Chain A
């Protein structure tokens, strides 16, 4: 089955080469970072996590969103998702691989990574995050691969797969809950210290992940000749709509608690920094207003049934959801947690060029994995469709 990835059009190979080039550039920058240390990044003693950990956090959400296909299909018999659950599972695989790479490029001493296994520390949520992320990666590889292989061989999937599929549902919830707990359990970081964090993470995950899937389905239809079907996309669009409403609602809840209580330390200063600037530091303000604009646009286009049903406007809505939540979670959430610092000073963060190139390199690596996996899916689906007709 893997051999299918080695066949493809010139456009397919061109895309692969482009990704390899971006990976190469990112990897060269990473080698430089290894040599010089994290001084080549924009991180500082005050903002000690930045773009890398932001991407990690955002992508855990994308990975978790596979459950939004698996759960309706296997528990509620939503037939429309039958053709695309494997797309969700393979998206999860690619996203988790990116998550793990982002953690690794963020480490000061990556060669000591195995210390996490050699000295397992259950009181650390990072330890549990490692456990659940790797478990989820494995689950999705096994499930996705066997389901697809069964389709390839025109047999039913092995019976032992069912329990694993059911297990993957709570497991998906666990990866984003544990990732939220990484933040929500720290005493001095008021912006993160909220019981809403895990719920917020899950809601935004179930918006951004399915939104990306809709975009991917469109790309597959347009460029790979595989149509997942309008019904499936519309079902996904419904999920994105609800999840986006809940996400924006949750953000509003945080704003209310912070600003009505007027407790500076209850996240108010961080939110001020994000939306209006704090003590003259306004680095994140433009981004956050783009977030507001994109969220509003997405909600209008999604809630209105006519624009949700029309392909073009739905794609704009999904792009907006993805962009908005990338800003909110992939940038704002992590950075604002460090502002102001423990001495109530504002010290801003902006990524450096090598940091951005390394980040792009990791994204390209994830896209490469996704491309190869989706290439196999499309080939198998096309073949089995021919088989069914013949």
Chain B
């Protein structure tokens, strides 16, 4: 509770003064300190990530550290907000037998898509998950019943349930963000607590390859809109009508070293 309260105070009282750092520099992000009227989205350019080398996990570590995501060894009970899946698992309906191996086996960063039309929000019986400002799909850990209906509804496997008390599995504690109890669902929140302060999401900031770009879809001059209009991009499972807001740049010759 205490930690939650501190986090809450941070959200309310810290004025948004910092501009966005990193590649996804947002225009007038420091302005209002709230996300009203915006439509946040992320563009992932995996080519840049791979060029960096396979060992880099900076974005995942930054996220999980910032949000007190536990490291639970049992894969069946893992809690994860952002992680990688090979292309064939991230985009199963895009795979064919002769798909270039260098693409099929390449890792893609996956996270909550913050859908425009989120099924998880539709099914939640208590509004513990809801669409907040800026089109973010949010969680209220204090209202969640742990019925896991949202996990059945999410077609992206983006939600984790705390099958056990997560606190013993925290390497270090970030006192500025709440920890969770056993019995509730959690997922990526697009760093709403950082957006409120005018900061980009932790993963975006941490990425040394600048492979993650974050911005406002409603702003035609934003970096995300510029990339979306200039490149071929795909989203996960568009046929389901959820309208995901995490986009993936597919470059010609994607996966070939120096293919760009």
B174 within 8 A of A: no
Please indicate the chain A residues that have their CB under 8 angstroms from the CB of B188 in the complex.
none
Contact of B183 among A109, A115, A118, A119 (CB under 8 A): A109
B127, A109: Cβ atoms closer than 8 Å: no
Residue of A nearest to B185 (CB): A108
B132 within 8 A of A: no
Please indicate the chain B residues that have their CB under 8 angstroms from the CB of A189 in the complex.
152, 155
Please indicate the chain B residues that have their CB under 8 angstroms from the CB of A259 in the complex.
none
A45, B145: Cβ atoms closer than 8 Å: no
B30 within 8 A of A: no
Alpha-carbon distance A37/B74, docked complex (angstroms): 14
In chain B, positions 181-224 with a C-beta closer than 8 Å to chain A are 181-185
A36 within 8 A of B: yes
B77 within 8 A of A: yes
B77, A45: Cβ atoms closer than 8 Å: yes
Stretch at the interface among B14-22, B41-49, B158-166: B158-166
B128, A115: Cβ atoms closer than 8 Å: yes
B101 within 8 A of A: no
Stretch at the interface among B1-9, B55-63, B89-97, B251-259: B89-97
Residue of B nearest to A182 (CB): B149
Please indicate the chain A residues that have their CB under 8 angstroms from the CB of B241 in the complex.
187
Interface string of A77-121 (1 = CB under 8 A from B): 000000000000000000000000001001111101101101101
A46, B76: Cβ atoms closer than 8 Å: yes
A124 within 8 A of B: yes
B147, A337: Cβ atoms closer than 8 Å: no
Q: With A113-B145, A126-B147, A188-B119 known to touch, is A37 a contact of B126 (CB < 8 Å)? A: no
A37, B89: Cβ atoms closer than 8 Å: no
B147, A106: Cβ atoms closer than 8 Å: yes
- B38–chain A nearest beta-carbon distance, Å: 24
A45, B161: Cβ atoms closer than 8 Å: yes
Please indicate the chain B residues that have their CB under 8 angstroms from the CB of A48 in the complex.
148, 151-152, 161
Stretch at the interface among A17-25, A238-246, A342-350: A342-350
Alpha-carbon distance A94/B8, docked complex (angstroms): 45
Please indicate the chain A residues that have their CB under 8 angstroms from the CB of B105 in the complex.
none
Interface string of B220-247 (1 = CB under 8 A from A): 0000000000000000010011100000
- B186–chain A nearest beta-carbon distance, Å: 11
Number of B interface residues in the complex (CB < 8 A): 47
Contact of B147 among A107, A186, A345 (CB under 8 A): A107
A275 within 8 A of B: no
A130, B125: Cβ atoms closer than 8 Å: yes
A145 within 8 A of B: no
Please indicate the chain B residues that have their CB under 8 angstroms from the CB of A188 in the complex.
119, 153-156, 237, 240
Please indicate the chain A residues that have their CB under 8 angstroms from the CB of B128 in the complex.
115
A49 within 8 A of B: yes
A127 within 8 A of B: yes
- A10–chain B nearest beta-carbon distance, Å: 43
B119, A39: Cβ atoms closer than 8 Å: no
Contact of A115 among B145, B182, B240 (CB under 8 A): B145
B163, A39: Cβ atoms closer than 8 Å: yes
Alpha-carbon distance A222/B94, docked complex (angstroms): 62
B146 within 8 A of A: yes
B152, A49: Cβ atoms closer than 8 Å: yes
B92, A37: Cβ atoms closer than 8 Å: no
B123 within 8 A of A: yes
Contact of B157 among A103, A109, A118, A341 (CB under 8 A): A341
Q: With A108-B184, A109-B144, A188-B156 known to touch, is A343 a contact of B90 (CB < 8 Å)? A: yes
In chain A, positions 119-174 with a C-beta closer than 8 Å to chain B are 119, 121, 123-127, 130
8 more A-B residue pairs beyond the given contacts A37-B162, A116-B145, A126-B123, with a C-beta to C-beta distance below 8 A: A46-B157, A115-B128, A119-B143, A124-B122, A124-B123, A342-B154, A343-B85, A347-B76
What are the 9 tightest A-B residue pairs by CB atom distance, in nearest-first order?
A: A108-B146, A188-B155, A108-B183, A44-B76, A37-B182, A342-B157, A126-B125, A343-B89, A344-B92
Residues of A within 8 A of B (CB): 36-39, 43-46, 48-49, 103, 106-110, 112-113, 115-116, 118-119, 121, 123-127, 130, 182, 185-189, 265, 337-338, 341-345, 347
28 A–B contacts, CB within 8 A, in A order:
A36-B164, A38-B146, A39-B77, A39-B182, A44-B163, A45-B76, A45-B159, A46-B157, A48-B161, A108-B183, A109-B183, A112-B126, A115-B143, A116-B126, A119-B127, A121-B124, A121-B126, A124-B125, A124-B149, A126-B147, A126-B149, A187-B119, A188-B153, A341-B157, A342-B154, A342-B156, A343-B89, A345-B89
